[in-house]
Structure 1
Amino acid sequence: MNHAIAQRKRELEAYLAPTTIDHAELNAFWDAALSRYDGKPLDVRRERTESPFNGVTVDHLTYQGFDDTPIHAWFMVPDVGRGADGARNPLPCVVLFPGYTDDRGYPERHAGWLLQGYAVLAVDVRGQGGETGNHLPLRSGAVKGWVSGNVLEPERSYYHAMTIDAVRAVDAAAAQPEVDGARLAAVGASQGGGLALISAALNPKVTAIVADIPNLCHMDFGVLNSSSSLAELAQHLKRYPERLEAALHTLAHYDMLNLAPRIKVPVLMSVGWKDPVCMPETVYAVYNRIEADKTIKDYPFSGHEVSEAQNRERILFLRERFR
Structure 2
Amino acid sequence: MSLTQTSPAFKIKISTNNPNGIFAAGQTISLFAEISNNNETKSRGQLTWIIETDEKEILREINTEFWIDAGQIKQHHFPTVDITKAGFYRFRCTYRHEGESYSNNTIIGYDPDSIHATPTAEHDFDLFWIRALAELNSIDPEHRIIPQPDKSSQKRDVYLIEMESVGNLTVRGWLEVPKKEGIYPALLRLPGYGSAMWPVDKYDDMIIFSFNPREHGNSDKAPGGPQGFWVRGLDDKEDYYYRGAYLDSIRAMDYLASRHDVDTRQVAVWGGSQGGGLSFVTAAFDQRVRYCIADVPFLCDWNKYFKTTHWDEIDMWIAQKPEIRNWASMLKTLSYFDTMNLAEKINAEVLMRAGLQDPVCPPATCFATYNQIKSEKSWLVYRDSGHSLGNEHWQHGFDWIRSRFHLK
Which one has the bigger helix percentage? 1
Give secondary structure in 1 for the equivalent of 2:201.
Answer: helix
- Asked if 1:48 is matched to 2:74, the reply is no
Letter in 1 for 2:168: D
Show the 5 A alignment for 1:1-323.
1-4=27-30, 8-22=108-122, 24-38=123-137, 40-49=139-148, 50-51=150-151, 53-80=153-180, 88-105=181-198, 107=199, 110-112=200-202, 114=203, 117-128=205-216, 130-134=217-221, 136=223, 138=224, 144-226=227-309, 232-241=313-322, 242-323=325-406
Q: How many residues align?
A: 303
Aligned to 1:84: none
**Aligned-partner Cα distance in 2 for 1:239–1:134:** 23
Contact 1:44–1:62, Cα closer than 8 Å, also in 2: yes
Letter in 2 for 1:223: F
Distance 1:257 1:231, change over 3 A: farther
**Aligned-partner Cα distance in 1 for 2:230–2:189:** 20
Give secondary structure in 2 for the equivalent of 1:154.
Answer: coil
Contact 1:223–1:233, Cα closer than 8 Å, also in 2: no
Letter in 2 for 1:216: L
Q: CA RMSD in A?
A: 2.3
Higher relative contact order by CA 8 Å / sep ≥ 6: 1 or 2?
1
Shift of 1:125: 2.5
Shift of 1:224: 4.2
Q: Which has the larger radius of gyration?
A: 2
Contact 1:189–1:306, Cα closer than 8 Å, also in 2: no
TM-score (ref. length: structure 2):
0.69
| Per-residue CA distance 1:89-138 (angstroms, 9 max, x = gap) | 11111111111111113x2xx134x25x211111113123x2212354x4
Contact 1:223–1:234, Cα closer than 8 Å, also in 2: no
Bigger mean CA deviation after superposition, 300-309 or 290-299: 300-309
**Aligned-partner Cα distance in 2 for 1:209–1:298:** 16
Give secondary structure in 1 for the equivalent of 2:342.
Answer: helix
**Aligned-partner Cα distance in 2 for 1:209–1:271:** 14
**Aligned-partner Cα distance in 2 for 1:277–1:53:** 38
Contact 2:186–2:256, Cα closer than 8 Å, also in 1: yes
Aligned-residue sequence identity (percent) comes to 25
Bigger mean CA deviation after superposition, 306-315 or 248-257: 306-315
**Aligned-partner Cα distance in 2 for 1:276–1:65:** 33
Letter in 2 for 1:71: V
Contact 2:136–2:165, Cα closer than 8 Å, also in 1: no
Give secondary structure in 2 for the equivalent of 1:211.
Answer: strand
Give secondary structure in 1 for the equivalent of 2:167.
Answer: helix
Unaligned runs of 5+ in 1: 81-87
Which one has the bigger strand percentage? 2
Aligned to 2:42: none
**Aligned-partner Cα distance in 2 for 1:38–1:271:** 34
Shift of 1:39: 5.5
Give secondary structure in 1 for the equivalent of 2:373.
Answer: coil
Distance 1:4 1:32, change over 3 A: farther
